[in-house]
Amino acid sequence: MAKKNSRPNDDVNGNVNLSPMIDCCFLLLIFFVVNATQITVAKDPSVKMPSAVSCSDLKDANGCIVVNVFSDTDKMAPKALEKYSKDYPPGSLWGVADANGRSIGYNTGQVQELTDFIKKQKETFKGKGLEDGKIRLYLRGDMAAPWERSSTAIRCAAAAGVTNIVFGTLPSK
Amino acid sequence: MARHKQIQTEQQEDPEMNISSMIDCCFLLLIYFLVATSLVSEKKLDISIPASAQSASSQKPPVDPGRIVLQADGSATWNGDMTVADPYNPEAEPGTSEYRSQRELEQLVEQLKNYKDLASSVQAEPVVMLTGAPSAPHQRIVDIMAALAEAGIKSVGISTADTGSD
């Protein structure tokens, strides 16, 4: 009989109140969802980003055609060089990612191919209903890359009909 | 009466919902976003290249475009004669006064603000032509773009020194 009486007490003590944990979990989830949507452009670690004093947040990455501009390999950090060598053919000056996330490198002799890629991306965005003004070239130039390479990428974008340019930067320390 | 009693006993039972699967999903999403989020977010500087339709106009603009010439060493001049940026020093450590002055380019910002006021007084859009030496570092271009953004100028014509304008 005594054993029978102890059963209900055990049942009462076994319940854990999960509601505060669920509250915290939801708060964290909302925080990370909001932060994750801020930047959706592909970040290539082979590029060491320049810093700028008057820069603003990239609120909407939709319509951004990302082009990476590389510096000379002797100026790259070991990790960046390793990633660059793995992803791009030797001599690549510009790097992009296609719709499947595959890295494509272009060298000085492939300027027309880069223009065609930008044009194709532009058409893809237009097909999704984006206006011309919202389609932008997102230039991720390495801080040590010569200006000639960045200006060539801008020229390719202009030839493809993309006149809004966004320079990718990091906030200045 | 009997029916009323039966309903009351059903209401007294605590309705329990099984939320364990929801918690599982919630945790999965939390872990996904935790891994996918990068807290050091990249920033941006917007510029707009004057489109060919605008430049095709034969009318002379009310104010001449401002001209910035960037040399290979990173120094820059405004309208041909005034030096507005010292040579670029890639060794400058972040946080030092030298690094700050390298990034801020106060003289250039001042000149650009004056130019913008001049253009606003005749209701014209301020346009700046930026000519850079082919080997000038990209960081210096970004410094100049930041100065343009600080002055509120968004329309920038870009060219390289030896290949002509875009």
- Candidates B42, B89, B135, B144, partner chain A, best to mutate (most A CBs within 10 A): B42
Interior angle at CA B31, CA B27 and CA B34, nearest 5: 135
Give the mean pLDDT per block of 10 residues along chain A (173 residues): 50 71 83 66 77 74 86 87 88 86 87 92 87 85 90 90 86 73
Q: In sequence order, what are the beta bridge partners of A104?
A: A96
A150 interfacial to chain B (CB closer than 8 Å) = yes
User: How does pLDDT run across B46-83, given as a tens digit for each residue?
Assistant: 777 765 544 445 566 677 888 999 888 888 888 887 78
Predicted-complex ipTM score: 0.73
> Does the beta-carbon distance from A166 to B46 stay under 8 Å?
yes
Q: pTM for this structure? A: 0.71
> Does the beta-carbon distance from A33 to B33 stay under 8 Å?
yes
Secondary structure of residue A100 in the 3-state scheme: coil
- Contacts with B166 from chain A: Cβ below 8 Å: 151, 154-155, 158
Secondary structure of residue A15 in the 3-state scheme: coil
- Candidates B47, B75, B98, B138, partner chain A, best to mutate (most A CBs within 10 A): B138
Q: How far is CA A124 from the centre of its chain?
A: 18
Nearest CA in chain B to A28: B30
B96 interfacial to chain A (CB closer than 8 Å) = no
What DSSP assignment string belongs to chain B? -HHHHHHHHHHHSPP----HHHHHHHHHHHHHHHHH--SS--EEEEEEPPPHHHHT--SPPSSPPEEEEE-TTS-EEETTTEEEEPPP-TTPPTTSHHHHHHHH-HHHHHHHHHHHHHHHHTT---EEEEEE-TTSBHHHHHHHHHHHHHHT--EEEEEETTTEE-
Contact A95, A70 (CB under 8 A): yes
Secondary structure of residue A123 in the 3-state scheme: helix
- Contacts with A32 from chain B: Cβ below 8 Å: 30, 33-34, 36-37
